[in-house]
């Protein structure tokens, strides 16, 4: 009897250059989607951190230094909205998707 090696199906396919980003963006795998949520959440966390530093810079001394009162209120509101809606929500969704078996 002659035994031949069956082709392995678990070997990774060669990926062309630039194809990784397209594969991630069009994936339906829940682990990849969870990672995309976490990456997006981290980017919005950085944006909200920059907004928080701008708020802190304005509050460093009494009075107005960098922003008018209207712009400071807008900055504060945008910071809160980004932290609640664009950071915390995708973070929990990313952990929920990534944690599935």
Range of the domain at 74: 41-101
Q: Does 53 map to a domain?
A: yes
pTM of the model: 0.75
pLDDT along the chain (101 residues), means of 10: 65 74 88 91 96 94 91 96 94 83 61
| pLDDT (0 to 100) of residue 8 | 65
The residue whose two tokens read 């900055």 is 75
In a domain, 2, yes or no: no
What's the pLDDT score for residue 1? 59
31 within domain boundaries: no
**Would you state the pLDDT for residue 53?**
96
> For the chain, how long is the longest CA-to-CA vector?
91
CA distance 38 to 93: 8
Residue 75 lies in a domain: yes
Total of domains in the chain: 1
């Amino acid at each position: 009897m002659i035994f031949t090696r069956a082709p392995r199906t678990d070997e990774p396919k060669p990926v062309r250059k630039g194809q990784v980003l397209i594969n991630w963006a069009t994936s339906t795998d829940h682990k990849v989607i969870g990672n995309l949520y976490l990456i997006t959440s981290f980017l919005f966390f950085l944006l909200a951190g920059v907004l928080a530093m701008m708020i802190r810079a304005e509050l460093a001394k009494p009075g107005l230094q960098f922003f008018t009162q209207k712009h400071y209120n807008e900055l504060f509101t945008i910071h809160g909205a980004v932290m609640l809606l664009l950071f915390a929500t995708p973070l929990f969704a990313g952990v929920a998707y990534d944690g599935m078996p």
